[in-house]
Structure 1
Amino acid sequence: MNKKYLLGFALLCLGLSSCSKEKSETSNEKTKVITISQGSKPKSLDPAMYNEIPSLFIVEQIFNTLFRIDSNGKIVPELAESYEYVTPLELVIKLKKGIKFHNDEEMKANDVAFSINRMLEKPATKVMLDAIDLVSIVDDYTVKIRLKESSAPLLYTLSYPLTSILNEKDTLAKNGNIAVSPLGTGPFKFDKWGEGERIELDSNADYFEGKPLVDELIFRAITENTSRLAALETGEVDIATIAPIDIQIVESNKELFAVSYPTTSTEYLTLNTQKTPLDNADFRKALHYAIDKQSIVDTVYMGKASVAKTIVNPNVFGSNQNVEGYPYNPEKAKEYLEKSGVSGETIKIMSNDNPVRLQAAQIIQANLKEIGINSEIETVEWGTYLQLTAQGQYDIFIGGWVSGTSDSDIVLFPLLHSSYKGGAGNRALYDNPEYDGLVELGRTSIEPEKRIDAYTKAQEILQEETPLIPLYYKNDNMGLSKKIKNFVPEPNTIHNFSKVDKE
């Protein structure tokens, strides 16, 4: 063979080897990206704007709160360094020094005071912080909160992503419009909104609790369960919420694994108590007895849920699991329907475009037909669903509520207290002074026994008047790539990704 050719061939092989090595080294340095898919598009990334999981799941990655709840359910400081109740109505919070916002400005007391005062103006957070009278700045790293009345759940409330701390300067510069341009102190920085369909976050190298283990988080909204599952199977997404029926499919895939865990959430029907015929208590009881909840648990949730007796999940402080509930009893449902005097009415059952909820709504529709009640299912997209239910433009809607703070206050007060009718939370438009007094006592008492007693009695009133129909306590179900490491699910379904890794 020609020597010149041999030399050229050798040099070519050397070059290929060098290129291969360079490519390999580049590949090893490839950016770590985790793509997560939820079933709904978030409405806003402004923490205080909406109490809804699709938004707060992403907010959790961008912001921090003054406190957090540890794995034992105890309150521990997060942005706070320490706290002290100097009197029952005065809470002094000292802040950690050196914590930077994503614009490199240090977080100080003015940011905390500004954030809390802003929360007191927003419907979603006002209901949770009503006990606060005044927030004052003591020095750059100390704030004092003066209360109108004592508030047992306050520290738990200040651990929920709704009460995240904002940068005052940035928020004012944007005239408060931070829905698609959030700036926090959290483990990930906001990068792109993507019309809410594809939200991109970058790792915060200067995060005060340590740089995250991955470089980027991408949140994709994929409404259809089958499409979300397909994206997981093909590797387009690394983590996805999945329907209960899909758990076996995920578990049979050697590249994936599934997690199904109890949460602090309750699925329920809200009844418009100000609208005929839902203003009739006997008619509401007829609906309640007519629904075969266990059938929904078995067929829709594949056993990954349990029948609910009260709106307060059993994993939540103050839940009264001793109430009787309303077991499936068509004959008793017919008795109450006759007693109500209602006949010939057609009611509408509203649901967002969640396929699992739609399946549940179809079973409920069939159950009602069995006792002589005609109903229609009205399906709307998530944003419209929130708007119409807030305005009372519905008969019945199927929804869910997560107790983010694991305390009955965040369930019983916003959902049913008369002062929060409408968009603030009480979409049933329920009004009962005795009930109001009990949940107010539960909120203001600092004695656990008195709080439990108040919440127990409040749930007994709901058992009798049934403005809501608790359906089931569902598990959260997720499919994950086996490349994902360190994922620890949270009972409130708002997971933190600062310590999650990807191989």
Structure 2
Amino acid sequence: MMFLKHKKTAVLLILTLLFCFVFSSCARNGEEDEASLPEFDELEPSEQKDYAADNLFSLSCNKNYSFNPFSTTNASNILCTQLMYDTIFDVDETFTTTPQLVTEFSSTDGKAWRFEVDNNIKFWDGTTLTAKDVEYSIQRAMRSPQFKSRLSIIMGVSAMDDSLLIINLYSSSMQFPAYLTIPVIKNGSVEETAPMGTGPYKPNDALTQLRAFSGHKNYNKLPLDTIYLKEITEIESLIAAFESSEIDLVTNDPTGSFNLGYGSANETRYYPTSNMHYLGFNSSSRFFSNADVRKAITYAVDRESIVTNCLKGAGSVASLPISPASAYYNERFSEIVSYSFKKSEEAFEKAGVRDYDDDSFREIMIAGEQIDSEVDFIVCADSSIKVSAARSIAENMQALGIRVSLRELPWDDYLSALTNGKFDMFYAETKLTPDFSLRSLLFYGGALNYGKFSDAVLEENISAYLKATDETRQTAADLMFKHITDTAPIIPICFEKQQVITHRGVVSGLGPTQYNIFRGIENWEINLD
């Protein structure tokens, strides 16, 4: 039997492959001037009709794994938990933060934070949410593979009473609430298969259904009373189930190793992520120890071409190390360092990188000695997208008279070369934190500062940006951007987008983010007629 609210019918299945990667051109560390992408796949007019198989709203799950948001490693179950557990804060598609489970929050220095937990929130069993539950959940998240990297900034968390929660950080961030897209479970329940939560949907005992929670603030707006769970354990079965309309919503990372192709008549929606592609340099390189030479490379990167031809549109061009979807992205600085063959030539000339011996290749003068421009450029061979992008950059550099040796290395060899400084330049990807902190990338001694850069002014600018209030953050961000574009310790290329795919005409009103595919489900409209 189907259960509907407000006469809305519904169908939906979510499946996704969320993979935690380690930083690099192949792996990710965890922690828009939009690319020209259609919001929907294009169909001929005769094909534009609704596709729905039944009157059930179904999600994929795998009962061989738990539904515990801190311990499950199954991608389908992780998605189910996004319906089951409210997060402390919500971050939207512009990386703007709003509270969900707290009524007030404040900090004077970005290191010591006070939060007032909303004691009007109820768990599924009718008990009241307290600060102790939130403390417990954050502590569990700090040990969870899914969240611990992001939360390494936390020094300690303490519930002072039922309402007051104190969090102390190792380093300042006035945007710290953006880190707290952390699901909350009841104190002491972490060992349970499906811990007690406060989210809009709660599981039945058999874990075959998610039922609307009548105590949730959005209960009267939810599109469905019941969401059915369909067990799918194999990728091939998932694709088949979607194509036969047994399930109606899947997610996909079109730039990832497990990019899946789905048939049928679909609508594809893209959402921004904090996954940044960029070039890095070895500060000890004879060629790239000179900031003017690095800046010349900035102009040689055709970002539009890389996003269009290599990422097939699944990205947003970015000349700055912050998502173009963010309000703090400044187009003025972005345009200054945009692709220009002429500007690159002029910058090389200014840096003294010229063809001194008329052999059609540029040389650099070091202490009066003419040195050939031979760049050792590395990329992880496991990612065809990144290899394609690196090749396009190498071709542009060679067209400018720079000799380039592009080494396409297996992951282990690539990581070894990065760690041991055996490169001049590298192509990489990293998942930035929600505040777009560059500490790990550009602070001396940072875990991802493979180029061994040491720049006190840059570190001051990054710290000032992270400490800035809402009123002063744009000014601080602009100072940081100016120094980065002037000195080019890294060269941002783009930020990835990922996909939510539904059958045409079935689901509307979606507002997915990288933190919650179901964000704003109370605004969804689902049609199976």
Please classify the TM superposition score into its range, dividing by the shorter chain length.
Answer: 0.5 to 0.7
Structure-2 change in CA distance of 1:41 and 1:87 (3 Å): closer
Contact 2:155–2:170 (8 Å) recurs in 1: yes
Structure-2 change in CA distance of 1:98 and 1:243 (3 Å): closer
Q: Distance in 2 between matches of 1:346 and 1:189?
A: 54
**1:399 counterpart = 2:410:** no
State the AA in 1 paired with 2:104.
Y
Structure 1 position 184, deviation (Å) = 6.4
Contact 2:277–2:429 (8 Å) recurs in 1: yes
Greater helix content = 1
Structure 1 position 470, deviation (Å) = 1.3
Structure-2 change in CA distance of 1:236 and 1:372 (3 Å): farther
Contact 2:132–2:159 (8 Å) recurs in 1: yes
Q: Which residue of 1 aligns with 2:356?
A: none
TM-score normalised to the size of structure 2? 0.63
Among 223, 229, 247, the alignment partner of 1:216 is 229
SS of the residue aligned with 1:376? strand
Q: Which residue of 1 aligns with 2:99?
A: 77
SS of the residue aligned with 1:364? helix
Q: Distance in 1 between matches of 2:280 and 2:132?
A: 42
Contact 1:150–1:444 (8 Å) recurs in 2: yes
**1:34 counterpart = 2:41:** no
Structure 1 position 284, deviation (Å) = 3.6
**1:137 counterpart = 2:175:** no
State the AA in 2 paired with 1:307.
V
Structure-2 change in CA distance of 1:293 and 1:26 (3 Å): closer
Q: Which residue of 1 aligns with 2:183?
A: 164
Q: Deviations over 1:297-318 (max 9, x none)?
A: 3333556655322112233143
**1:259 counterpart = 2:253:** no
Q: Deviations over 1:74-104 (max 9, x none)?
A: 6543222x12549775624123346337x99
Structure showing greater radius of gyration is: 1
Among 506, 509, 526, the alignment partner of 1:484 is 506
Structure 1 position 373, deviation (Å) = 0.4
**1:331 counterpart = 2:345:** yes
Structure 1 position 441, deviation (Å) = 2.1
Among 505, 512, 518, the alignment partner of 1:496 is 518
The gaps in structure 2 that reach 5 residues or longer are 22-29, 31-66, 256-260, 354-361, 366-370
Among 398, 423, 444, the alignment partner of 2:467 is 444
**1:416 counterpart = 2:427:** no
What are the equivalent positions in structure 2 for 1:250-329 lying under 5 Å apart?
255-260=265-270, 263=272, 265=274, 267-271=276-280, 273=282, 276=285, 280-282=289-291, 284-301=294-311, 305=315, 307-323=317-333, 324-329=336-341
SS of the residue aligned with 1:339? strand
Contact 2:202–2:211 (8 Å) recurs in 1: yes
Structure-2 change in CA distance of 1:79 and 1:458 (3 Å): same
Structure 1 position 278, deviation (Å) = 7.9
**1:91 counterpart = 2:114:** yes
State the AA in 2 paired with 1:36.
L
Q: Distance in 1 between matches of 2:518 and 2:313?
A: 27
Contact 1:351–1:385 (8 Å) recurs in 2: no
Q: Distance in 1 between matches of 2:430 and 2:140?
A: 26
Q: Distance in 2 between matches of 1:328 and 1:54?
A: 44
Q: Distance in 1 between matches of 2:108 and 2:480?
A: 29
Structure 1 position 142, deviation (Å) = 3.6
Q: Distance in 1 between matches of 2:310 and 2:466?
A: 36
State the AA in 2 paired with 1:347.
F
Q: Deviations over 1:423-470 (max 9, x none)?
A: xx6565543222222222222233523x22222111112112323221
SS of the residue aligned with 1:311? coil
SS of the residue aligned with 2:469? coil
What are the equivalent positions in structure 2 for 1:344-363 lying under 5 Å apart?
344-350=374-380, 353=383, 355-363=384-392
Structure-2 change in CA distance of 1:347 and 1:317 (3 Å): same
RMSD: 5.1
Contact 2:301–2:396 (8 Å) recurs in 1: yes
Q: Deviations over 1:55-77 (max 9, x none)?
A: 98676445332222468976543
Among 400, 404, 416, the alignment partner of 1:373 is 404
State the AA in 2 paired with 1:377.
E
SS of the residue aligned with 1:216? strand
Among 462, 467, 492, the alignment partner of 2:484 is 462
TM-score normalised to the size of structure 1? 0.65
Query: How many pairs are equivalent?
Result: 432
Q: Distance in 2 between matches of 1:431 and 1:342?
A: 26
Q: Which has the higher contact order (CA 8 A, sep 6+)?
A: 2
Structure-2 change in CA distance of 1:366 and 1:155 (3 Å): same
Q: Distance in 2 between matches of 1:326 and 1:275?
A: 26
SS of the residue aligned with 1:435? helix
Contact 1:97–1:141 (8 Å) recurs in 2: no
Q: Deviations over 1:378-399 (max 9, x none)?
A: 354xxx7998799678852332
State the AA in 2 paired with 1:373.
V
State the AA in 1 paired with 2:380.
M
Structure 1 position 112, deviation (Å) = 1.7
